[in-house]
Amino acid sequence: MTGSEPTIADAAINREAPVAIHAQISERIRNRIARGEWPAHYRLKSEPEIAADLGVSRGTVRRALATLIEEGLLRQVRGRGTFVTSMTFEPSIAQRLSTLSEDFSAQGILFDTSVLFHGLVAPPQPVAALLDLPVSGTVFQLDRLRSTGGSAVTLLGNFVRSDLVPGIDDFDFAGASLFGTLEGHYGLKIGTARRTFSAEAATEAVAEALAVPVGAPVQYLQQVTYLTDGRPIEYSDVWIQSERLKVTSLLSRR
């Protein structure tokens, strides 16, 4: 972690309180999650870092985290850290990390891309947390509409850490690939991503973009992309016109 805000150490531990220190720590984390300050998939600092921030032992921190893991609010991934748990079912339905434009090209599908917005902005708090940025930082925001055969099929909103990609707002992403630019121009090595699929009712903005009625069901994809060194680089929201595009995966049992 690089000191994302808000931190867990916003006030000193009350060592005179009748509540055990590990329980105080659990409650602080529980409150962060309940208020949405630490969203699903947010990666906590390591146990030694949390212990140093709070001035407590690592064993106390481990006990506090264990309580929240038992409650289902946190989960630990070996070699990666401790994450806030998503409250939705997340099947592993993507067999490789590719973009929709790469999939379209591989299948010979012709498509057009319109850039609706691009520029440097202050990140929304959940995005700042997932990208390990202070809320006072900036991200590159890119909103696009992708169409095939003259009809819109996907609405994409990307947020990229601007500290790792200086000058990215000068690129024309009506023709350029975002991931291709990150890898080809900036030399960044994209390693992994977490994708969450769900069904949502189209908001007014999504309905207008995808030419569907307000409230119509659309596929929604949320993604956080990480570099090979573990740093988060990109967050995206993707809305898919369900009647024109279906997500299909080829899976193997072994």
What is the Cα–Cα distance from 156 to 243, expressed in whole angstroms?
17
- Does one domain contain both 222 and 121? yes
In a domain, 1, yes or no: no
Q: Which CATH number does the domain housing residue 154 bear?
A: 3.40.1410.10
Contact 19, 2 (CB under 8 A): no
DSSP state of 38: S
- Does one domain contain both 66 and 105? no
Nearest to 88 by CA among 39, 27, 126, 129: 39
Domain containing 154 equals 100-240
> What is the chain's pLDDT, residue by residue, as a tens digit (254 residues)?
444 444 676 667 888 888 899 999 999 999 888 888 899 889 999 999 999 999 999 999 999 999 999 888 898 888 889 999 865 544 443 445 566 666 655 555 567 899 999 999 999 999 999 999 987 889 999 999 998 878 898 999 999 999 999 999 999 999 899 999 999 999 999 998 888 888 899 999 999 999 999 999 999 989 999 999 999 999 999 998 877 766 655 545 55
- Does one domain contain both 229 and 165? yes
Nearest to 227 by CA among 178, 180, 191, 185: 191
Q: Strand 190-201 relative to strand 151-161: parallel, antiparallel, unpaired?
A: unpaired
Nearest to 144 by CA among 187, 115, 165, 122: 115
